[in-house]
Amino acid sequence: MTQETPATFAQPWPVRDEIRIRSVRAIVTAPQGIPLVVVKIDTTEPGLYGLGCATFTQRWKAVQTFVDEHLARLLTGRYPGDIGDLVRLAGFSGYWRGGPVTNNAISGIDQALWDIAGKRAGMPVYELLGGKVRAAADTYIHAGGITIDQTLEQAKEFVAQGWRHIRLQVSTPGGGGYGAPQLATLYPGAPYRNGWSARDYLRTTPDLFAAARQSLPDNIELLHDVHSRLTPKEAVVLARSLEPYRLFFLEDVLPPEHWDRLPEVRAASPVPLAVGELTTSMGDAVRLVRDGGVDFIRSHISDIGGLTPARKVADLAELCGVRTAWHGPGDTSPIGAAANVALDVSSVAFGIQEGHIYDEATHEVFPGTLRIVDGWLTPNEAPGWGIDIDLEAAARYPAQLSGHDEWAAGVRRIDGALEAP
């Protein structure tokens, strides 16, 4: 049949059936205390809808407004199968492109359209992407403590539960080592008693990994997240001091402003570098992969615009000898986690998947949420993502504006200067 969509924004080609997008809206819910944004696209076919992750935890209300006010009007009435055209339309119609608000909103519609495509085909999304090249995605999990012993105790519990890859973080003497609890200050004379000190961080971190290699089984892979707080030279010092401990990867040694210096850090040490959760466009991710900055690319795929751009990055990574480690902690919705796994099992370039254990409230809101078993993540076999949303349950967990933005601006140096989170 010929197309009947509204003239504005309509595709100038006939589409093959009658199904149209009926409504597009963003749903915000915080079952685990972390605001999650999910886009729901309903179609004219009764019961046929799709879900996509648009989670930008610190700015969820901006994404919600973007979807409900700007994108819904572009898409309503359109044929849901033209995913590539619809996501380009969503980007180009804003003229200025990129950035986390825009890209999360677009990811929400992109992933929801892939979900619809899978449901129409009767296939899980990974099969639409070409099918499995592996059975499951191996994951890593976070262990953190105030002391090295505490961190390693938690790591041993994860080993007992079947994990093979563990990220280790420990509090530094001055306060919040990233990913570990805040520690009462040891800088009583400093302008900011509870500050963070690069010097002490560089001194403590090798001790953590030396102790880990003493007390954890030798075949466990160890990871660490710097969280973007070092200079290029400090990053070299840290990487070289960690060389004896055979890290699987060292994450985010430099902030995005200094990513053009990553190749020199990478060249100075054999420790593999993982970077990318702060990429906010496909171009950012492409430059990291293409220009030799990373061993592992770990974009948060909704922040670069969703599954459509992320699969291009995965293919580029395969061609460049880089591996993937998509970002996946608690500020990813279960839909986003399912999109990560669809890529993981269908990409040759897969390296590792960051794992998150969703609580039971999240499983209640999102029936079908994946569970990690013995460290492995396996995609649902149901069509699309195989994950639903219970709208009544979602409404019982309202999101707050505050909290996560405070976390993201909560680190200061001992002299009081604000530090990257």
178 is catalytic: yes
Q: CA–CA separation, 418 vs 421, rounded Å?
A: 9
List contacts with ligand D8T (CB under 6 A). 225, 227, 277, 327, 329, 331, 354
Query: Is 187 or 249 the residue whose CB approaches ligand D8T more closely?
Result: 249
Q: In which residue are the tokens 């009947």 written?
A: 4
Q: Which residues contact 401 (CB under 8 A, 6 or more apart)?
A: 61
Could you say which of 142, 165, 224, 227 is catalytic?
Answer: 227
397 an active-site residue?
no
The only residue of 110, 225, 234, 419 in contact with Mg ion, by rule CB under 5 A = 225
Assess 303 for contact with Mg ion (CB under 5 A): no
Q: Which of 19, 130, 27 is nearest to 72 (CA)?
A: 27
> Shortest distance, CB of residue 329 to Mg ion, whole angstroms?
7
Q: Using CA atoms, how far apart are residues 83 and 121, in angstroms rounded to an integer?
A: 14
> What six digits make up the tokens of 421?
């989170």
Between 260 and 405, name the residue whose CB sits nearer to ligand D8T.
Answer: 405
Active-site entry in 178, 187, 245, 397: 178
Residues 6+ apart with CB under 8 A from 214: none
**Least distance between Mg ion and beta carbon 412 (Å):** 20
Q: Which does 115 bind (CB under 5 to 8 A by kind): ligand D8T, Mg ion, none?
A: none
Residue 329: contacted member of Mg ion, ligand D8T, none (CB under 5 to 8 Å, by partner type):
ligand D8T
Residue 198 near residue 230, CB atoms below 8 Å: yes
CB closer to ligand D8T, 327 vs 412:
327
Determine if 42 is a binding residue for Mg ion (CB under 5 A).
Answer: no
Q: Decide whether 126 or 140 has the Cβ nearer to ligand D8T.
A: 140
- Cβ atoms 22, 28 nearer than 8 A: no
Residue 118 or 351 with smaller CB distance to ligand D8T: 351
Is 296 strand, coil or helix? strand
> Among the candidate windows 77-85, 220-228, 344-352, 384-392, which touches Mg ion by CB under 5 A?
220-228
Cα separation, 193 vs 18, whole angstroms: 65
Tally DSSP H helices, then E strands, for the chain.
15, 12
Are the beta carbons of 32 and 330 closer than 8 angstroms?
yes
Residue numbers at the binding site for Mg ion (CB under 5 A): 225, 277
Active site residues: 178, 227
